[in-house]
A and B are shown apart, each in its own frame.
Chain A
């Protein structure tokens, strides 16, 4: 259990540090990867809705505390993301690499749109919906490019930390 928590914490801290130092300056063809979303997908796809939601909540809270967004916004969005992916995972029977890639794209689009919507709801709307749409596409494209490099690594760390292995459905 402790090993699992430490592994999840390592994935989260690694993703946050790389995101704020390396990737914050990188744009590949206008695309910007969001490693925290990748981490949530990796964790939720190899566990259940509770772990997915809890990891999402922790990741979102850490992201909010480090950044200057109203604290709790990313926690709300990322917990929902983790729960949704953890719930939907049992229906994904194919082991094709296209499955995580599709989930990563969908999660990236959902994450940016949901954050934009919550910020609008809180009346912190200094950006247009056009910007939200463009950013969502940029993050989805960036994450898709980063998936083959980062996703197997994150998933490997999460899977190896499990005390009891769960059979893939």
Chain B
């Protein structure tokens, strides 16, 4: 059974060469290349599995969390504990549905603000990787989703679609180091490029290093004709304004959306017909404009 070392080494080298070849093909391919198609196939196989497991583990996780919060329950008698747990589970289900409802309303309000048409979706899986910040949602081409669409929630921009299957799509979050967003300061409209930095806050490189900026200033998406994101979507708030170094000014921006605990999101399937001027800071905090619609509630959740 034990392979001879030389043969084992040869097979190992072949596998390494195969991996390097795949990396090269992936880097050089166009958006619909062979590796891209393989990725979509993998998503469509794993998507239903992930959705089923998510649906099962969510209430279990909630229940475990509930038990941890109320350690004194252990001291009560078994019957009472069972009754309490049953009631708690029911209450939690209601709270879950209420929370989902609120999140959908938030996303809808956000869509209204930018005048976009959106499709609701539920997060069914998160990247388990250390080096990647992305989620899988339960909406795909069948729901009108295509690559590069913006994804929002009630707080602001969440990320953009990077891969789409029939019923699933992968969303690269704003915090991913490979995400780049054309953005602007809400007050001065000074443009810049936002980059994710993983578990840390976002980094914004200002185009004009001398532009006036203050801590607490909101940052919004910058719209341009062939751009990915609708203009004026709130992204985050400036938390630190270190001085320029080597003529480059980088700000620290904390995203509005809590990308670590996403549940319900909305995908912007149609941007406003005529790009509006980005709203002022006050508008970025909550005045509706335009007539949008969210065409679909997330499939996995509320009836």
Contact = CB atoms under 8 A, between A and B. Distances in A.
Interface of A: 13, 16-25, 32, 34, 48-50, 53-54, 57, 60-73, 75-76, 79-80, 83, 86-87, 90, 112, 115-116, 119, 122, 124-127, 131, 135, 139, 164, 166
A67 B128 CA distance: 8
A71 B40 CA distance: 12
Given A13-B49, A125-B177, A164-B1, A68 B16 contact: no
Contacts of B8: 48-50, 53, 83, 86-87
B3 A127 contact: no
Given A20-B50, A126-B177, A69 B15 contact: no
A124 B42 contact: no
Interface in B106-153: 124-132, 134, 136
Contact of B12 (A53, A64, A73): A53
Contacts, number: 158
Given A21-B57, A71-B35, A48 B2 contact: yes
Contact of B126 (A20, A124, A164, A166): A20
Contacts of A67: 127-129, 132, 134
Interface stretch (B71-79, B190-198, B264-272): B190-198
Contact of A115 (B5, B35, B124, B131): B131
A16 B12 contact: no
B23 A21 contact: no
Q: Which of B15, B50, B61, B136 has the most CB of A within 10 A?
A: B15
Contacts of B198: 126-127, 131
B22 interface: yes
A126 B129 contact: no
B224 interface: no
Contacts of B162: 68
Given A71-B22, A131-B199, A20 B163 contact: no
A67 B26 CA distance: 13
B19 A76 contact: yes
Nearest to B260: A25
B129 A65 contact: no
A54 B176 CA distance: 30
A164 B1 CA distance: 9
Interface of B: 1-3, 5, 7-8, 11-12, 15-16, 18-27, 35, 38-39, 42-43, 46, 49-50, 53-54, 57, 61, 124-132, 134, 136, 162-163, 170, 172, 176-178, 195-199
A33 B136 CA distance: 20
Contact of B176 (A63, A115, A126): A126
Given A86-B8, A124-B177, 8 more contacts: A21-B124, A24-B128, A25-B126, A49-B8, A53-B15, A61-B22, A126-B195, A126-B197
A24 B177 contact: no
A72 B61 contact: no
B7 A50 contact: yes
A50 B42 CA distance: 25
A115 B54 CA distance: 27
A23 B128 CA distance: 7
Contact of B42 (A62, A83, A126): A62
Given A34-B128, A48-B2, A54-B15, A20 B136 contact: yes
B1 A166 contact: yes
Nearest to B47: A66
A48 B11 CA distance: 12
B170 to A, nearest CB: 6
Given A23-B128, A61-B22, A124-B178, A71 B12 contact: no
B94 to A, nearest CB: 22
Nearest to A134: B199
Contacts of A21: 50, 53-54, 57, 124-126
Contacts of B124: 21
